[in-house]
């Protein structure tokens, strides 16, 4: 393993002064060290990976220096367009270092949603024409890899990717995390929410901790999971899955159980929901201003008015609360009138240590939900 401090110094020595991206669990030590050692203008946690590539391009245009973009390999999907139509040498030729966490690496155990992307990560970079190298886990070799990657990016005026396997970085915990200002946990909020929903409600839960907590709560309460679509991948798209469902079954209550990072990643989806105005749609955003599943890096969840954004996008109602004692009244008021509705519930960061994972496969979840919806 290589220390995040050593890697960060190597990046600086290669002329990198600007870091941006979306946090990833395999990169959390590096992301945490960058957060602790950069100011707000030299490190920006982006809404999505494509936006990070755009910011990196802007930095290079203004300074002539090499920027760094970090992401999980799933984020390559968000980054493809600006990588090939902006940064590519056949277009503008913008050098940048892309640090990619290799989830689902072939031969290593991982969750189902990562396996396909893990197997196609290297072929995808090849298809995009992005030069790449796998980061060695031995320090001297890792530092040499970084130097070559940075030099190659600048000499070719092109993106160059360093693919980071599991366990490459030594553990480093974020030192500058903001203190929690809200008392309730996300799991407590979901439990309280379940008490307020009609029995035939369909729930689409975003990827990460929220889906896992929903699954565990159903089991604890002796309830079926058949009404819950657990979006184990596709970060940021749960609201659009729920929208498609609500349009197809307009008489059924549909709830999107979202997170602040996921909602912000593809915030444009709110405009589609607002313009179509499905009366049966409730959008619940569990907001702790953190990418909780991948190391607790900050989002701008507490800096923006999500309710104001929703209303400006055409949502009929939007309310915010942090008091779970008020939630039943809020939900009763919301469900009594036509949607779309947004309910922001502000919660603290973190999850319990013994939180499990869904025991159903994604395919099993799909079939169970389809059976529930088509009874």
Nearest to 26 by CA among 87, 91, 99, 90: 99
pLDDT band at 20 (very low <50, low <70, confident <90, very high): very high
Rg of the chain over CA atoms, in angstroms? 21
Look at the pTM and tell me if it is higher than 0.85.
yes
pLDDT for the residue numbered 298: 86
Decide if pLDDT at 178 tops 90.
no
Name which residue leads in pLDDT, 197 or 292: 197
DSSP 87: I
Residue 179 has phi, psi (to 5 degrees) of -75, 150
The arithmetic mean of pLDDT across residues 132-136, rounded, is 97
Nearest to 97 by CA among 39, 30, 1: 30
pLDDT for the residue numbered 85: 97
pLDDT for the residue numbered 244: 98
Asked whether the CA dihedral 49, 55, 60, 61 is positive or negative, the reply is positive
pLDDT in tens, 76-91: 999 999 999 999 999 9
Decide if pLDDT at 255 tops 90.
yes
Strands 290-291 and 297-298 turn out to be antiparallel
Query: Is 165 within 8 Å of 105 (Cβ atoms)?
Result: yes
Domains and CATH numbers, the chain: 4-164 (3.40.50.970), 186-373 (3.40.50.970)
Q: Cα(291)–Cα(246) distance, rounded to whole angstroms?
A: 27
Nearest to 22 by CA among 65, 53, 57, 66: 53
pLDDT for the residue numbered 58: 98
The arithmetic mean of pLDDT across residues 50-72, rounded, is 98
Q: What is the mean pLDDT of the chain?
A: 95
Nearest to 344 by CA among 368, 295, 309, 312: 309
pLDDT in tens, 179-228: 788 999 999 999 999 999 998 999 999 998 999 999 999 999 999 999 99
What is the number of other CB atoms lying within 10 angstroms of the CB of residue 220?
Answer: 10
Residue corresponding to tokens 């498609």 = 244
pLDDT band at 254 (very low <50, low <70, confident <90, very high): very high
What is the side-by-side order of every strand in the sheet holding 159-164?
Answer: 43-45, 19-21, 68-72, 96-101, 159-164, 131-134
Neighbouring C-alpha atoms within 13 Å toward the C-beta of 67: 25
Q: Cα(337)–Cα(345) distance, rounded to whole angstroms?
A: 19
Peptide bond before residue 166 is cis, with ω within 30 degrees of 0: no
Look up residue 278 and give its two tokens: 């499905």
pLDDT for the residue numbered 294: 80
Q: Residue 203 pairs with which residues in a beta bridge?
A: 228, 255
Decide if pLDDT at 310 tops 90.
yes
Neighbouring C-alpha atoms within 13 Å toward the C-beta of 212: 15
The arithmetic mean of pLDDT across residues 20-34, rounded, is 95
Measure the N-to-C terminal CA separation of the chain; round to a whole number of Å: 52
Q: Distance of CA 305 to CAs 116, 319, 330, 336, 343, Å?
A: 36, 10, 18, 24, 12
What share of the chain has pLDDT > 70, as a percent?
100
pLDDT for the residue numbered 186: 96
pLDDT for the residue numbered 40: 92
């Amino acid at each position: 393993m290589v220390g995040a401090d050593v890697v960060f110094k190597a990046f600086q020595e290669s002329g990198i002064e600007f870091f941006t991206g979306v946090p990833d669990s395999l990169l959390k030590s590096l992301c945490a060290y960058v957060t602790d050692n950069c100011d707000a203008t030299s490190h920006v946690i982006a809404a999505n990976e494509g936006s990070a590539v755009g910011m990196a391009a802007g930095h290079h245009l203004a300074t002539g220096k090499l920027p760094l973009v970090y992401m999980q390999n799933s984020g390559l999907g968000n980054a493809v367009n600006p990588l090939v139509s902006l940064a590519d040498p056949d277009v503008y030729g913008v050098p940048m270092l892309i640090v990619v966490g290799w989830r689902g690496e072939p031969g290593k155990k991982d969750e189902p949603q990562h396996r396909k992307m893990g197997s196609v990560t290297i072929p995808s970079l090849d298809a995009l024409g992005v030069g790449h190298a796998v980061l060695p886990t031995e320090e001297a070799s890792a530092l040499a890899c970084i130097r070559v990657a940075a030099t190659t990016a600048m000499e070719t005026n092109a993106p160059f990717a360093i693919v980071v396997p599991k366990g490459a970085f030594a553990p480093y915990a974020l030192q500058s995390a903001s203190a929690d200002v809200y008392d309730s946990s996300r799991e407590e909020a979901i439990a309280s929410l379940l008490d307020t929903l009609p029995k035939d409600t369909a729930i689409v839960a975003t990827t990460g901790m929220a889906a896992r907590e929903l699954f565990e709560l159903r089991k604890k309460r002796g309830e079926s999971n058949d009404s819950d679509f657990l979006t184990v991948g596709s970060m940021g798209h749960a609201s659009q899955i729920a929208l498609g469902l609500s349009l197809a079954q307009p008489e059924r209550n549909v709830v999107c159980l979202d997170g602040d990072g996921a909602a912000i990643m593809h915030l444009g989806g709110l405009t589609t929901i607002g313009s179509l105005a499905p009366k049966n749609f409730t959008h619940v955003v569990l907001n702790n201003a953190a990418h909780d599943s991948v190391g607790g890096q900050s989002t701008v969840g507490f800096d923006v008015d999500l309710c104001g954004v929703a209303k400006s996008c055409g949502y009929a109602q939007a309310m915010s609360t942090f008091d779970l004692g008020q939630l039943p009244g809020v939900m009763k008021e919301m469900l009594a009138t036509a949607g779309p509705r947004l309910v922001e519930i502000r919660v603290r960061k973190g999850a319990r240590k013994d939180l499990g994972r869904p025991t159903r496969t994604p395919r099993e979840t799909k079939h169970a939900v389809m059976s529930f919806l088509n009874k």
